[in-house]
Amino acid sequence: MFCLYPHQTRYRVPAAALHPLPSGVPVARAVLAAQMETAINGLWDAQPRLGDRIAIVGAGTLGCLCGWLAGQIPGCEVRLIDINPRRAETAAALGLDFSEPADACPDADLVIHTSATQQGLLSALALAGDEATVLELSWFGTREVTLPLGAAFHPRRLTLRSSQVGRLPLGQGARWDVRRRMRLALSLLTEPALDVLITGEEAFIELPRIMAELSSAPGDTLMQRIRYDCNNGDADKRARLTNV
């Protein structure tokens, strides 16, 4: 079963909050489900088309999942862009191209920004071609950013659009609900290549230390898995995994 819930050892939820894992999705990979759900919602908002040149600025877990999904669209050229050159290995494992920002090709038909940084958003705007869309999929919290909207933004007729997983896109709302969307997210996790996004695992008791370390120096970490060690045998240990 998969359940969206804060980190704690025990909790009680309604049966409707639980999602059965599809056949072929291991528990260890199912921790990617929430990020996959966000990526799906982002692609729905972005509306990529056959043959688009798509740039993903920010090769974290979310950016990589967006890139992997977009890479399944026939004819699309998808490139992950990140300041960390070691993300090139992750991109290759997912069948995607990679560039550092200074080497990225401009004139993209669609740019998806996931780095949650001002510089990343500036890069996203710079990479967009005329009349292209830049989809903002990051979460900035209370931070403010400054953008050069008085420069080439208007004459190039760029579209800056937000996406938030808490709300289904207008085109999906009549037929989809969040439970159906989660079923889709889980069904897409049968792909073994996605295991490259899970870069570590620690016990729940180590969570305060892990959170402090990742907040100050994330390094090459993508998805950090948390293991709940119980007294009910190895099978229970395997079944109780979550992510940070």
- Domains recognised in the chain with CATH numbers: 33-186 (3.40.50.720)
pLDDT at res. 175: 94
Q: Between helices 178-187 and 33-46, what is the axis angle to 10°?
A: 110
pLDDT at res. 147: 92
Residue 202 near residue 224 (C-beta atoms within 8 A): yes
Nearest partner of 226 among 217, 208, 162, judged by Cα: 208
pLDDT at res. 152: 85
pLDDT at res. 97: 98
CA pair distance 42, 154, nearest whole angstrom: 24
pLDDT at res. 217: 87
Which residues of the chain, if any, have pLDDT below 50?
Answer: 232-239
pLDDT at res. 242: 62
pLDDT at res. 135: 98
Q: Between helices 33-46 and 61-70, what is the axis angle to 10°?
A: 50
Spatial neighbors of 226 by CB under 8 A, at least 6 apart, are 7, 201, 202, 203, 204, 207, 210, 241, 242, 243, 244
pLDDT at res. 241: 59
pLDDT at res. 231: 56
